[in-house]
């Protein structure tokens, strides 16, 4: 059985696996854009851009709202946060942990020295 | 065959001595009893077991003796628990080494992997060398753990996004 959460994550990764869709995400990180604004820098046809937008929408990475004949897209934050958990690099993760451990050990040492001076 | 995968100026060494193992070595500027306490005391574990962005550690239990339990739960904005780690200590020699099992699962209960972790502590003068040996069930699992997020292009992209998302929220 595949959980909702796992399948949602599958959608997120599938959506981010295409360079055009990552380019769309990058553009949207600058704020809301309409479909033609998204299609233009990608040098792709309007229907092709629409297809990519639909995949991103399906993964709930972006949200689309319709205003008259214009379709506006913007980023959805939550699924991306979830995706970063799975993509943080192994080395960076452990280096960050060990640096935190360095400061913790420094504190423990000074606490011990303070206690030793008091007695 | 032990081949270092990468070396950093901080002294973190990551190697893959066998097909199913991953070894992390790092030295700390503290006596080993102190490093041991920092690694296995729940209040102190909270300080270095850094949760992913947007997540927090909901609870930690760590009873470092043979048969003692290790249990960590993480929560996110939309799930509590979002992820859990359950394990048991199978060998313990205080301040020297400890071996425990680790079963990771999503909040839904779906298992996302298991491994055996061995910590070794060796004092050298004023410093302590800690070696963590992770043994996975298969080469695929081991490679999966090591390769997570190693696509640098994607990684840089995600990090930028993450930073942007934090600015916006």
Residue B57: Cβ within 10 Å count = 15
Q: Which residue of A has its CA nearest to B15?
A: A91
Please tell me whether residues A62 and A12 are part of one structural domain. yes
Out of A77, A81, A105, name the one closest to residue B29 (CB): A105
Give the count of domains, chain A: 2
Please tell me whether residues A39 and A60 are part of one structural domain. yes
Please tell me whether residues A99 and A74 are part of one structural domain. no
* pTM (whole model) above 0.80: no
* Percentage of chain B lying above the pLDDT 90 cut: 56
CB contact under 8 A, B50 and A77: no
CATH assignment of the domain containing A25: 1.10.10.10
ipTM of the complex: 0.80
CATH number for the region B4-168 comes to: 3.30.530.20
Q: Select the more confidently predicted residue: A100 or A119.
A: A100
Per-residue pLDDT tens digits for B76-107: 887 899 889 999 999 999 999 999 999 988 88
Mutate to test the interface with A, among B47, B80, B109 (most CBs of A within 10 A): B47
Please tell me whether residues A69 and A102 are part of one structural domain. no
Mutate to test the interface with B, among A63, A76, A104 (most CBs of B within 10 A): A104
Domain boundaries in chain B?
A: 4-168
Please tell me whether residues A111 and A58 are part of one structural domain. no
Structural domain of A106: 89-118
Rounded Cα–Cα distance for residues A30 and B167 (Å): 11
Please tell me whether residues A94 and A38 are part of one structural domain. no
């Amino acid at each position: 059985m595949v959980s909702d959460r796992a399948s949602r994550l599958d959608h997120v990764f599938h959506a981010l696996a295409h360079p055009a869709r990552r380019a769309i995400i990058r553009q949207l990180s600058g704020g809301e854009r309409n479909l033609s604004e998204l299609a233009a820098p990608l040098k792709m046809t309007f229907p092709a851009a629409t297809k990519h937008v639909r995949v991103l929408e399906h993964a709930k990475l972006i949200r689309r709202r319709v205003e008259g004949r214009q379709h506006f897209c913007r980023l959805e934050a939550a699924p991306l946060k979830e995706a970063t958990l799975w993509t943080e690099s192994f080395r960076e993760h452990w280096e960050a942990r060990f640096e935190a451990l360095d400061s913790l050990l420094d504190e423990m040492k000074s606490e011990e020295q303070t206690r030793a001076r008091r007695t | 065959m032990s081949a270092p995968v990468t070396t950093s100026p901080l002294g973190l060494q990551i190697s893959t001595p066998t097909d199913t193992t991953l070894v992390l070595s790092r030295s700390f500027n503290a006596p080993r009893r102190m490093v041991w306490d920092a690694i296995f005391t729940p209040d102190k574990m909270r300080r270095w077991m850094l949760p992913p962005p947007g997540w927090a550690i909901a609870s930690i239990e760590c009873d470092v003796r043979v048969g003692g339990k290790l249990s960590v739960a993480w929560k996110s904005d939309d799930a509590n628990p979002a992820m859990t780690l359950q394990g048991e200590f199978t060998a313990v020699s205080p301040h020297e080494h400890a071996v425990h099992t680790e079963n990771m699962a999503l909040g839904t209960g779906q298992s996302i992997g298991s491994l055996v972790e061995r910590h070794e502590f060796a004092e050298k003068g004023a410093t302590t060398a800690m070696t963590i040996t992770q043994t996975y069930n298969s080469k695929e699992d081991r490679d999966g753990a090591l390769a997570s997020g190693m696509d640098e292009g994607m990684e840089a992209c995600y990090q930028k996004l993450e930073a942007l998302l934090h600015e916006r929220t």
